[in-house]
Amino acid sequence: MPVDATPDPYTNPLVFGQRMQVLRTRRGMSRPVLGGLLGRSPSWVKQVESGTIRTPSLPMILRIAEVLRVRDLADLTGDQTMPVDLFIGPGHHLLPAVQAAINSYPLTSDRQAPSAAHLRLRLDRAWTARHEASNHREVLGSLLPDLIRDAQLTVRQAETAADRRAAQAILSEVYSLAQFFVAYQPDSALLWRVAERGMVAAQESEDLHAIGVAAWLTVQAHRDAGPAHFDAADAVNRATLEFLQPALPNASEKVRAVAGALQFEAGYTAARRGTSGVAWGWWEKAQATAQGLPKSYYHPITSFSHAVMSAHAVTVAVELHAGGEAVRQATRADADTIQSLPRRSRHRIEEARALQLDGQPEAALTALAKAHECAPETIAYNGYARRIVLEETESKSPARRQRASELAVKLGTLAA
């Protein structure tokens, strides 16, 4: 190999620091940016890469792997005996309580389960609270433990087959709510456990809406797990749309809306693959579904609506790395018509990605500031937002550096 060639991190005997440097370089990430994401200095990163200091502890190795988007830990450590799939993010202080409720295995109970109607009312209120709250994980974390336990109990105490199916539909939706809380937190096994339980409960319920919502979230989990899981995402998406299709002509608005949400997810995955024609083709199908719904309709779980389709167009263009088109779509979208605060914040983040792709970093920071004003927890858990902010802390423009640094402190990626 020529002396000036970049070494292959998969070729032994590269040590940890060398692998980290190669993977960081391939991500196009500077030492200050990596250090900022890790809560360490650029000099610390340099010392690790040069071998001046010893290999970090396992928790720090896992954090490095997450920041560098390493899916298999062996790619970073070189230890082929410990392949670990990574799908982690920051943790919330209420995560242990939600974990305990999900992981519990109660077989008996001396208390009476709440009625399905009572659970339905609580669940509807929880969805509303989730969309109206800027600190939505805080809200969900406080509601979920009791909701999970009560929904499980209602299923166990159901006296008829019909009652059990109705309870399973509610339990499935409770797991869907839990998936919004668990996503991007440091327990990937819990995320998959919640997704699978939601799918099983939905199938047991035989409820079209519950099945569609559970599939919608499962598709996202597969896609977020990386390119190796895109086929699985497509398989779940395709099977669910085929299952729903015969019922759609006479289906309720919420069933048609979840079908539209699935159509967009198919386009999202295609955009991640880089297949532009397929991606926009699915977006157009989802747009047609949205046009068939009342203009004021807003799905309470997926946010599927007329307003969100404009936001979805920005996401498709961004994932296709079409900066100019993404900015044009963002200009057409009206973020204020998106009823959900977390979803509105996410749209602002997608807008920032579009602006950065289009070479407008100042405007990108403005969009991220709006995202933070709308829902701070959304942007704090979004890797794209953190990356843009930290990259701009290295800007040659003093004013932009200051703006980015102030936002980075708010996100917790840089110390005050």
Helix (H) or strand (E) holding 344: helix 341-357
Model confidence at 357, pLDDT cuts 50, 70, 90, reads confident
Which residues neighbour 247 within 8 Å (Cβ) at sequence distance 6 or greater?
208, 255
- Domain ends where: 153, 186, 206? 206
- Considering the domain architecture, whether residues 196 and 96 belong to the same structural domain is answered as yes
pLDDT at 403 over 70: yes
| Alpha-carbon gap, residue 298 to 310, rounded angstroms | 14
Of the two residues 191 and 225, the one the predictor is more confident about is 191
Q: What average pLDDT does the segment 28-40 reach? A: 83
Q: Could you tell me what percent of the chain has a pLDDT over 90?
A: 62
Distance of CA 84 to the CA centre of its chain: 20
What are the structure tokens assigned to 328, written together?
Answer: 């044009």
- Considering the domain architecture, whether residues 67 and 95 belong to the same structural domain is answered as no
- Considering the domain architecture, whether residues 94 and 66 belong to the same structural domain is answered as no
Residue 84 has a pLDDT of 45
Residue 85 has a pLDDT of 43
- Considering the domain architecture, whether residues 187 and 98 belong to the same structural domain is answered as yes
Model confidence at 201, pLDDT cuts 50, 70, 90, reads very high
pLDDT at 308 over 50: yes
Q: Other C-beta atoms within 10 Å of 190: how many?
A: 18
Rounded (10°) CA dihedral 305, 311, 317, 318: -130
- Domain ends where: 206, 240, 272? 206
Q: Is residue 155 part of a domain?
A: yes
- Considering the domain architecture, whether residues 200 and 95 belong to the same structural domain is answered as yes
- Considering the domain architecture, whether residues 95 and 41 belong to the same structural domain is answered as no
Q: Is residue 121 part of a domain?
A: yes
Buried b vs exposed e over 196-234: b needs ≥16 C-beta within 10 Å?
ebbbebbebbebbbbbbbbbbbbbbbbbebeeebbeebb
Q: Is residue 142 part of a domain?
A: yes
Domain count, the chain: 2
What are the structure tokens assigned to 278, written together?
Answer: 């397929």
Q: Name the residue type at position 6.
A: T
pLDDT at 290 over 70: yes
Listed range (17-21, 213-217, 309-313) with the worst mean pLDDT: 17-21
- Considering the domain architecture, whether residues 40 and 123 belong to the same structural domain is answered as no
Write out the residue range of the structural domain in which residue 48 sits.
16-77
- Enumerate the H helices of 8-159 as residue ranges: 16-26, 31-38, 42-50, 58-67, 73-77, 95-103, 116-132, 136-156
C-alpha distance from residue 121 to each of 124, 170, 273, 376 (Å): 5, 10, 40, 27
284 exposure class (CB count in 10 Å sphere: 0-12, 13-18, 19+): middle
Which residues neighbour 312 within 8 Å (Cβ) at sequence distance 6 or greater?
264, 267, 268, 283, 286
Model confidence at 185, pLDDT cuts 50, 70, 90, reads confident
Q: Is residue 200 part of a domain?
A: yes
On whether the CB atoms of residues 316 and 275 are closer than 8 A, the answer is no
Residue 4 has a pLDDT of 46
Buried b vs exposed e over 355-375: b needs ≥16 C-beta within 10 Å?
bbbbebbebbbbbbbbbbebb
Q: Name the residue type at position 10.
A: Y
Model confidence at 410, pLDDT cuts 50, 70, 90, reads confident
| Alpha-carbon gap, residue 283 to 267, rounded angstroms | 6
Listed range (33-47, 83-97, 363-377) with the worst mean pLDDT: 83-97
Residue 335 has a pLDDT of 86
What are the structure tokens assigned to 264, written together?
Answer: 């967009």
Residue 80 has a pLDDT of 52
Residue 71 has a pLDDT of 62
Q: What average pLDDT does the segment 39-45 reach? A: 89
Q: What average pLDDT does the segment 130-144 reach? A: 94
Which residues neighbour 370 within 8 Å (Cβ) at sequence distance 6 or greater?
335, 348
Which residues neighbour 185 within 8 Å (Cβ) at sequence distance 6 or greater?
88, 89, 90, 91, 92, 95, 191
- Enumerate the H helices of 161-273 as residue ranges: 161-182, 188-205, 208-224, 230-244, 253-273
| Alpha-carbon gap, residue 370 to 375, rounded angstroms | 9
115-130 per-position pLDDT tens digit: 999 999 999 999 999 9
Residue 79 has a pLDDT of 66
Q: Is residue 348 part of a domain?
A: no
On whether the CB atoms of residues 248 and 262 are closer than 8 A, the answer is no
- Considering the domain architecture, whether residues 123 and 164 belong to the same structural domain is answered as yes
| Alpha-carbon gap, residue 291 to 297, rounded angstroms | 10
Q: Is residue 378 part of a domain?
A: no
72-117 per-position pLDDT tens digit: 677 788 765 544 444 445 678 999 999 999 998 877 778 899 999 9
Residue 415 has a pLDDT of 52
245-289 per-position pLDDT tens digit: 999 999 999 999 999 999 999 999 999 888 999 999 999 999 999
- Domain ends where: 191, 206, 221? 206
On whether the CB atoms of residues 141 and 181 are closer than 8 A, the answer is yes
At CA 125, angle to CA 122 and CA 127, rounded to 5?
110
- Considering the domain architecture, whether residues 197 and 103 belong to the same structural domain is answered as yes
Q: Is residue 131 part of a domain?
A: yes
Q: Could you tell me what percent of the chain has a pLDDT over 70?
A: 91
Q: Is residue 158 part of a domain?
A: yes
Of the two residues 387 and 18, the one the predictor is more confident about is 18
Taken in order 150, 304, 210, 256, is the CA torsion positive or negative? Answer: positive
- Considering the domain architecture, whether residues 153 and 109 belong to the same structural domain is answered as yes
- Considering the domain architecture, whether residues 154 and 132 belong to the same structural domain is answered as yes
Which residues neighbour 165 within 8 Å (Cβ) at sequence distance 6 or greater?
204, 205, 206, 207
- Considering the domain architecture, whether residues 114 and 53 belong to the same structural domain is answered as no
- Indicate the pTM of the whole model: 0.79
CATH code of the domain containing 36: 1.10.260.40
Which residues neighbour 3 within 8 Å (Cβ) at sequence distance 6 or greater?
none
Of the two residues 3 and 370, the one the predictor is more confident about is 370
On whether the CB atoms of residues 210 and 173 are closer than 8 A, the answer is yes
Which residues neighbour 337 within 8 Å (Cβ) at sequence distance 6 or greater?
306, 307
pLDDT at 351 over 50: yes
